[in-house]
């Protein structure tokens, strides 16, 4: 999944190190997935009175080239394990896109007023972690993001 992999002591977004360079660990990956959900839920709440439907799509394990440098990160054994998992369990790139396509094109999303929800393959809605549902954390990330954009864009 992603955000659910955070150990309980790290269950959250440490805003002091959120934009830190160089740490490409599983915890960092999981924190980025949590941030995607927090940000999406904040945006969905902000646009609740508009015809804007924002949801999170987790594509699942998809056969891509994203792990091509996994030997550098996990060594040869980790790389071989990743290749085996890819061969046995991964979705094709076409299948991996189906949840995103559903969320972007299905009339059901608008008709059922589906906003700020979390979907896994293939177009299945599931509940996020409790931390991802925390509106205070969602708002904190939104404010952090606005500040970062102003700094980088000088707006």
**Catalytically annotated residues:** 29
Q: Give CA–CA dist 41/86, Å, rounded.
A: 30
Q: Give CA–CA dist 91/44, Å, rounded.
A: 28
Q: How many H helices and E strands in the chain?
A: 6, 3
**Cβ 118 vs Cβ 125: under 8 Å:** yes
In this structure, what token pair is assigned to residue 70? 């996994």
**Cβ 102 vs Cβ 3: under 8 Å:** no
Using a 10 angstrom Cβ sphere, with 0-12 exposed, 13-18 middle and 19 or more buried, the burial of residue 67 is: middle
């Amino acid at each position: 999944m992603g955000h659910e992999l955070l150990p309980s002591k790290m269950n959250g977004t440490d805003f002091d190190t959120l934009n830190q360079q160089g740490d490409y660990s599983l915890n960092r990956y999981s924190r980025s997935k949590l941030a995607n959900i927090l940000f999406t839920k904040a945006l969905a709440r902000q646009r609740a009175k508009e015809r804007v439907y924002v949801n999170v799509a987790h594509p699942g394990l998809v056969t891509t080239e994203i792990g091509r440098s996994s030997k550098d990160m996990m060594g040869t054994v980790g790389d071989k394990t990743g290749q085996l998992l890819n061969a046995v369990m991964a979705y094709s790139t076409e299948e991996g896109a189906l949840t995103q396509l559903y969320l972007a094109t299905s009339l059901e999303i608008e008709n059922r007023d589906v906003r700020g929800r979390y979907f896994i393959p293939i177009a299945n809605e599931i509940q996020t972690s409790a931390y991802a549902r925390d509106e205070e954390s969602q708002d904190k990330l939104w404010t952090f993001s606005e500040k970062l954009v102003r700094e980088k864009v000088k707006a």
